[in-house]
Amino acid sequence: MRAGERIYVNGAVLRVDRKVSLELVNDVMFLLEGQVMQAADATTALRQLYFIVQHMLMNPTDIADAAALYGRHHAALQAVCENQQMLEGLTAIDEMVGASRYYEALKRIRALFPVEQAILAGTATNVPFEAA
């Protein structure tokens, strides 16, 4: 990690003051600062879903409200989506969230950002899927 960089570990925010290497030796949920989406960047339905799941990962002791919001938002996305790639991704994301695998769900959501962009642009015929 670089000086001044933050890492979010099990709800705690850690900031390093100098270059450092960290080794997490047990099972923890974490996000690097570059993976954290700001509220102002949650400008599309899929990005809003990312923001909700991110909140669940960053606040693991208080997810009830976020989980309820996730359920409503995910169901609304599935109800309006017609793109098969997006629907399959949403199903996989829901399974990951249901198993509290939030980091993996965030990776899968990020991988769907290009699909969503293509849908919004009206060019969603063949968007290559890339794991984030």
Phi/psi at 38 (5° precision): -85, 155
**6 in the same domain as 54:** no
Domain that holds residue 22: 1-36
**13 in the same domain as 64:** no
Model-level pTM? Answer: 0.78
Whole-number Å distance between alpha carbons of 93 and 106: 8
113 and 71 Cβ atoms separated by less than 8 Å: no
At 12-25, the pLDDT tens digits run 777 878 887 877 77
Q: Which of 33, 30, 9, 6 is nearest to 20 (CA)?
A: 6
pLDDT above 90 covers a percentage of the chain that reads 52
Q: Is the pLDDT of residue 90 over 90?
A: yes
pLDDT-derived band at 124 (thresholds 50, 70, 90) equals low
Please tell me the total count of domains within the chain.
2
**70 in the same domain as 41:** yes
Q: Which of 6, 10, 8, 9 is nearest to 61 (CA)?
A: 10
Taking each helix axis from N to C end, the angle separating 84-98 and 102-121, rounded to the nearest 10 degrees, works out to 160
More confident: 51 or 3: 51
**54 in the same domain as 29:** no
pLDDT-derived band at 45 (thresholds 50, 70, 90) equals very high
More confident: 10 or 76: 76
Mean pLDDT of the chain: 85
**55 in the same domain as 4:** no
**47 in the same domain as 6:** no
